[in-house]
A and B are shown apart, each in its own frame.
Chain A
Amino acid sequence: MRPRTLAGRYARTAYLFLLPAILFFAAFFYLPIGNVVATSLRTGPQADQWAGLGNYTQALGDPAVRHSFLVTVAFAVAVVVGSIVLGLALAMALDQPLKGRVAFRVLLLVPYLTSVAIVGLLWRNILDPELGVLNRLLLAAGLPAQHWLNTSPLLTIAAVTLWQSVGYTMVLFLAGLQGIPETYHEAAKIDGADAWLRFWRITLPLLAPTTLFVSVMAVISGLQAFGQAYIITNGGPGDATDLSVFHIFNVAFRSRDFGYSSAQSVLLLIVIVAFTLVQLRAGRRGEVVY
């Protein structure tokens, strides 16, 4: 039926343009999510026996799930804080009229464009205590050898994640910085505000939307991290880097319990959505308009 109003025709056109995206998301996201929810209510190697909410109650009382969640939260916190602090620091440094700043920006962005598998293998080899390059350099410089993959494995994979992703957050902050009108800083300067005060009172508040976006994305990617544990540490030593998604993967593909792993996936989804909503609400409350 042809809409009788102009607005109706516009709306129909809009929906038609949206249709491919809706179909794509339905086929590759919503349908699989529905399938995961259905599987989470079943048990057995073929996930063909009805379990009701049994997998969920088991997951909530499982110390391994709890441990892996705590490990993941610690990892995500490190990644979020590091992303914001380092990303902003780099963006501010490269927002200055430095020679070769474009090259620096590109160099910092390259790791983000590289696959996590490549990055993981690269750093695993660099950090290997016996055969890695880093210890050779440290020893050649007369410094003690590092054993970070054994002594601080979680912090190490968080640092590798930051190394990879900080270029992206830097670009976001750089865009945010360049969106702040210079007149605000000039006016503050005339009023006698020093650089530190201008940062706290102008730059940081006006970067709030960018900071919110960076923190939301970092929390989501931190809670969903997998490749770092899979490639660099295999979840070890012991279960020290048993990140949630890696744990879920092992429950599914090593222990072969698809129902239980699906229930854990759904719980993780709920946690991520909850974290995101809280962040968005808290972040929007703090937004400043000049």
Chain B
Amino acid sequence: MSSHLSRRDLLRLAGAAAAVPVLSSCAGAPTQQSAAPGTFTVYWNAGHDYQAYRKVIAEFEQANKVKVNFQKYQWPDLRTRLLADFASGTVPDLVEEPGGWVQEFAVSGNARSLQDYVDRDGAAMGFPSDWQPVTVERNSYQGKVYGVQLHLTCNTLLYNKGMLSAAGLEAPTTWEEFLAAAKKLTKDGVYGVALNQDYTYVWPWLMQAGVTPYDPETGAIMEPVADAVAALQFQADLIHKHKVAPVPVSSTDYSGPQKLFSAKRAAMILTGPWDLEPIGKTSPDIDLGVAPPLKHKEQVTQAAGTSMLVPAKATRPDLSWDFIKRITAIEVEQAATKETGMLMPRVSWAELPEVQSNEATKVFAEALPTAKDSSQQVRLTGQFGKWEEQLKVMYQQVLIQNQPAAEALETFTKAAEGFLK
């Protein structure tokens, strides 16, 4: 007679212990449904919850007899959530993405092609004819449309008119003028310029230097290398050599330059329309100037902005498409621009009176046709995430840690060659 539980009892207990989690996991297994019936789930950027969009959502709910579950995230959190959803199989009906994910998820099979809807409704809604060409290209894969651009933005020069005119300066147009202006403006605790710690802000400089990020045919990365090094070093020198810009601090926050500008601690920043609203709200006394992108070898800027995609496992793509159609209507773009100053992807949007009559928006709108996509060729390799990780390290090593640009770029190129081959 045993003083402990019998083997059979132990086996029973162990069996029960093992069965419950298995059963519970089965109970919670993905059902391949995107959401509860009657609920339409949207993942959206927290900063894009505009009244203009709320109105569209209300109309969408009424027309389709559904309740929109409008979930707002910061981009990194949205990506984490979405990838977890892809893994579990329970996906939202529609996702706003920050640029680049459409092709990445098209390549991996997680995004649904919208080509059948475009073929059916495209002409009526003006897609793609009324969208800036770059926005259609960056949302297509193997000749099919996988996403529709919601906002089209670009970086250009924002400056404090009062500070520049007090220094007897006009808005700079070239890198040389920019450096000279920054030197003259740096005094009394004010920096001539504030650069961003976020690596994506490197692209306008590289593009203006004529650098091609990646050529899939030759495998060349960041060429011409000498121009890429010069562009990186120019930015580092603004901080460490000329001391006309503060050393940025690495974080997830890309609003550092805007905060310095709003605090009148920086006279110029290179940024996009997303900073117009915070500057206007926090420092209405600043006479804000917006100038076209700087010119070096070329006068170009980076095409940015968000798009919408439908996950491949979303079960109600018809509804998702209806949402896309409604929220990209020219009237909605017009209302959103009026509300926030955001830039939009329709060609006809640039002709709207709200755009033409607004000094800041007009400059951005005029820069949009020169905006180029920075990483499409990399995205199509499916290695975009690794590319971005390496780029962030390289950018911060040069700008923050003052590592020689040539050395940091060489390390980056070697790493990129490893995963792009």
Contact = CB atoms under 8 A, between A and B. Distances in A.
B250 A233 contact: yes
B396 A236 contact: yes
A231 B252 contact: yes
Interface stretch (A69-77, A167-175, A199-207, A249-257): A249-257
A234 B3 contact: no
> Nearest 5 pairs between A and B by C-beta?
A236-B250, A27-B21, A255-B385, A237-B400, A7-B3
A184 to B, nearest CB: 41
A153 B253 CA distance: 16
Interface of A: 1, 3-5, 7-8, 11-12, 15, 19, 22-23, 26-27, 30-31, 45-47, 124, 128-131, 147, 149-150, 153, 230-241, 250, 252-258
A149 B389 CA distance: 20
B21 A233 contact: no
B233 interface: no
A26 B13 CA distance: 13
Contacts of A236: 197, 250-251, 392-393, 396, 400
B interface: dominant SS = helix
Given A7-B3, A11-B5, A255-B385, A131 B263 contact: yes
Nearest to B80: A253
A57 B163 CA distance: 57
Given A236-B400, A237-B400, A255-B385, A23 B247 contact: no
7 contacts: A19-B13, A23-B20, A130-B260, A150-B247, A236-B197, A238-B250, A253-B83
Interface in B6-61: 6, 8-9, 13, 16-18, 20-22, 24-25
Contacts of B13: 15, 19
A45 B382 contact: yes
Contacts of A7: 3-4
Contact of A8 (B2, B253, B382, B388): B2
A5 B3 contact: yes
Contacts of A257: 385-386
A3 B104 CA distance: 61
B310 to A, nearest CB: 18
Contacts of A27: 20-21, 24-25
A250 B110 CA distance: 19
A129 B239 CA distance: 14
Contacts, number: 130
A25 to B, nearest CB: 9
B250 A153 contact: yes
A253 B9 CA distance: 44
A130 B195 CA distance: 13
B1 A4 contact: yes
B401 interface: yes
A36 B254 CA distance: 33
Given A8-B6, A150-B400, A236-B396, 5 more contacts: A15-B13, A26-B20, A27-B24, A131-B260, A254-B388
B89 to A, nearest CB: 11
A231 B252 CA distance: 7
Contacts of A129: 246-247, 249
B397 interface: yes
B50 to A, nearest CB: 26
B329 interface: no
Contacts of B259: 131
B311 to A, nearest CB: 13
Nearest to A236: B250
B87 interface: yes
Contacts of A250: 389
A254 B265 CA distance: 34
B108 interface: yes
B5 A150 contact: no
Q: Which of A26, A46, A236 has the most CB of B within 10 A?
A: A236
A271 B358 CA distance: 59
A234 B250 contact: yes
Interface in B89-106: 104
A255 B389 contact: yes
B389 A254 contact: yes
